[in-house]
């Protein structure tokens, strides 16, 4: 079975990228909450600026972000850097070859390149969700990377139904990475496609098993599962409970304690989260 869509691979960083990534002859386009820097087509830059304002409203509402008057305004505006092509983006930012963009938390920057297909519809809301999510939960709590990546993927609305199909197929094929492995995996360190990665799994019948994955397959599986887990929590229990879960993490609770607080009668541990999620996949929801 072939699915005609792609998972967006991007990274989030806690430190500003190297200075050479900004050593371009940038033109500048300012809006209420964003400043777009570009070197190529002004029409494309204007589209990015306009869509960013629309996504800003939607994502903040989806995540239950507490709004206040100075949020991303004036000198707090987010900077969007659009390199002219993929080669210059990869070369200037030292990103892995599979990365399509990056969000710099501390510097409040979104950095990518002017690709014709998917930038405005996918990468822009994806990277904005990274920044808004981190503005919400902060940096001190125990925030698993899959949750951060899953929120960003979830905000690519057009892909939700297709990702559900892929996640369901991987579940049916018993090729889902165990949630304990997801918790311990730093996907940012997976840079070798020809290397074989060994990960644990729980088969569809409940038995434990082992997966042997290439770097690319591991990254793809990780991203699919991340958005599927976030989608499960939001669709099964609602945005209010999900926002409450994120607030508990922000306030310093560990993952399992935050789950128990936000979903007290349904999910009280990592194992229960995986079990409920697998039931959701089994039903093809």
In a domain, 2, yes or no: no
Residuewise pLDDT in 10s, the chain (285 residues): 333 345 555 555 544 444 344 546 899 999 989 999 998 888 989 999 999 999 988 888 777 665 555 578 778 899 999 998 888 888 888 887 777 888 888 888 999 888 756 788 888 998 899 888 888 888 887 889 999 999 999 998 888 889 999 999 999 999 999 999 999 888 888 877 778 888 998 888 888 899 999 888 999 999 999 999 999 999 999 888 998 999 999 999 999 999 999 999 999 999 999 999 999 999 886
State whether 271 and 212 are in the same domain: yes
> At which of 137, 171, 200 does a domain end?
137
Q: Is the pTM of this model over 0.85?
A: no
State whether 95 and 130 are in the same domain: yes
Distance CA(249)–CA(21), nearest Å, equals 32
Beta strand ranges found along the chain (DSSP E): 10-13, 27-30, 34-38, 78-83, 101-104, 109-113, 196-202, 208-214
Secondary structure class of 143 (helix, strand, coil): coil
Q: Encoding tokens for residue 202? A: 């729980």
Element (H, E) at 145: helix 145-154
In a domain, 182, yes or no: yes
Q: How many domains does the chain have?
A: 2
Q: In which order are the strands placed within the sheet that holds 78-83?
A: 10-13, 101-104, 109-113, 78-83, 34-38, 27-30
């Amino acid at each position: 079975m072939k699915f005609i869509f792609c998972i967006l691979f991007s990274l989030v960083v806690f430190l500003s990228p190297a200075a050479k990534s900004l050593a371009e002859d940038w033109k500048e386009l300012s809006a209420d909450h964003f400043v777009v820097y570009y070197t190529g087509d002004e029409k494309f830059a204007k589209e990015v600026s306009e869509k960013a304002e629309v996504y800003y409203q939607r994502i903040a509402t989806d995540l239950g972000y507490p709004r206040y008057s100075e949020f991303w305004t004036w000198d707090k505006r987010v900077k969007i850097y659009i390199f002219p092509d993929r080669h210059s983006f990869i070369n200037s930012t030292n990103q892995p070859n599979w990365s399509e963009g990056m969000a710099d938390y501390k510097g409040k920057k979104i950095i990518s390149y002017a690709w014709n297909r998917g930038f405005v519809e996918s990468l822009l809301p994806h990277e904005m969700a990274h920044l808004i999510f981190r503005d919400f939960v902060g940096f001190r709590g125990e925030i698993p990377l899959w949750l951060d990546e899953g929120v960003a993927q979830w905000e690519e609305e057009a892909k939700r139904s297709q990702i559900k199909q892929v996640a369901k197929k991987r579940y049916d094929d018993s090729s889902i990475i165990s949630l304990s492995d997801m918790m311990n995996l730093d996907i940012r360190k997976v840079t070798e496609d020809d290397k074989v990665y060994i990960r644990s799994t729980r088969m569809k019948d409940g038995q434990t098993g082992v997966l042997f994955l290439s770097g690319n397959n591991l990254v793809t599986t990780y991203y699919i599962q991340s958005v599927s887990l976030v989608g499960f929590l939001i669709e099964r229990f609602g945005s209010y409970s999900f926002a409450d879960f994120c607030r508990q993490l922000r306030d310093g609770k560990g993952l399992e304690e935050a789950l128990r607080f936000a979903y007290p009668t349904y999910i009280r541990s990592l194992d229960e989260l995986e079990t409920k999620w697998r039931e959701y996949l089994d039903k093809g929801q």
